[in-house]
Amino acid sequence: MYVCIVQIFMTMQTQVIKADSRGKADYGWLKANYSFSFANYHNPERTHFGVLRVLNDDIIAPSTGFDTHPHDNMEIITIPLSGRLAHKDSMGHTSHIESGEIQVMSAGKGIFHSEFNGSDKEELNLFQIWLFPNQRQVEPRYQQLSLDKLRKENELYQVLSPDAKDEGVWIYQNAWFHMGELDTGWKGTYQLKDENNGIYLMVIDGEVKVDDTILNKRDAIAIKDASEITIEIIEKARILIMDIPMNNK
């Protein structure tokens, strides 16, 4: 009797998304960069990455913004990079989200909210990120947190997870976000929290080498079928790592 043993080796798959290849829109009051199809930008090759549906890099003019509008069954994460966001929603929250904070809304059964630049002088630059949830029709919820409580000097630190008891904000999805403000010459690895997840890494500022790929400001890399990645900082950088399920159902 012969026994045949077959070993299957996964090969890491990567896609580089250069900053200048993103969709762009200029509405006067809003200058937007779309990593995935959104609004009038449609690219059939960039509709989502796993459960990551939206990564918008928005610049909003002073005293302008998005009037009240609805959302449902989506996890919405907002990270102001500079400036101040004025937020109001149908759950009764009226707040300002400053640069250095993170906000999350689980839209669930449905919410209405508005988002405006909270300054009449300075532009607001933010990331708005949407993830498909792993539970639908939940009661809507809101959370806001200062990153100062989480930040670690010259290290990656967690800002989001699936667990309300863990560090950072939490959402209805098996996802983890990490950020880092890292000095030139820093080297390290990131290990996936779930072997079935993928990684979407965005360089906010600076120059970064991920495995063998060089990325500059607002470049991103999408990685599947890897258990860990190596990171080297070529020039002082801020990065965002999203560790997310590949199945968007």
Q: Does 176 score more than 50 pLDDT?
A: yes
| Rounded distance between C-alpha atoms, residue 128 and residue 85, angstroms | 12
Q: Does 221 score more than 80 pLDDT?
A: yes
Question: pLDDT value at position 11?
Answer: 73
Question: pLDDT value at position 93?
Answer: 92
Q: Which of 21, 46, 50 is nearest to 36 (CA)?
A: 46
Residue with tokens 């809101």: 142
Band (pLDDT 50/70/90 cuts) for residue 248 is low
Structure tokens given for 4: 């045949």
| Rounded distance between C-alpha atoms, residue 94 and residue 86, angstroms | 8
Average pLDDT estimate for 212-216: 97
% of the chain beyond a pLDDT of 90? 93
| Rounded distance between C-alpha atoms, residue 139 and residue 128, angstroms | 21
Side-chain-side CA neighbours of 141 within 13 Å: the count stands at 14
Strands 220-224 and 197-210, by their bridges, are: antiparallel
The domains located in the chain, with CATH, are 18-245 (2.60.120.10)
Side-chain-side CA neighbours of 162 within 13 Å: the count stands at 14
Question: pLDDT value at position 10?
Answer: 54
Question: pLDDT value at position 8?
Answer: 38
- pTM score above 0.85: yes
Question: pLDDT value at position 249?
Answer: 55
| Rounded distance between C-alpha atoms, residue 249 and residue 73, angstroms | 12
Structure tokens given for 65: 């913004």
Q: Which of 87, 192, 193 is nearest to 144 (CA)?
A: 87
Q: Does 1 score more than 50 pLDDT?
A: no
Q: Does 208 score more than 70 pLDDT?
A: yes
Question: pLDDT value at position 50?
Answer: 97
Q: Does 181 score more than 80 pLDDT?
A: yes
pLDDT tens digit string along 59-114? Answer: 999 999 999 999 999 999 999 999 999 999 999 999 999 999 999 999 999 999 99
Q: Does 244 score more than 50 pLDDT?
A: yes
pLDDT tens digit string along 49-68? Answer: 999 999 999 999 999 999 99
pLDDT tens digit string along 3-40? Answer: 443 333 457 899 999 999 999 999 999 999 999 999 99
pLDDT greater at residue 2 or residue 244: 244
pLDDT tens digit string along 132-150? Answer: 999 999 999 999 999 998 9
Average pLDDT estimate for 185-196: 96
3-state secondary structure of 185: coil
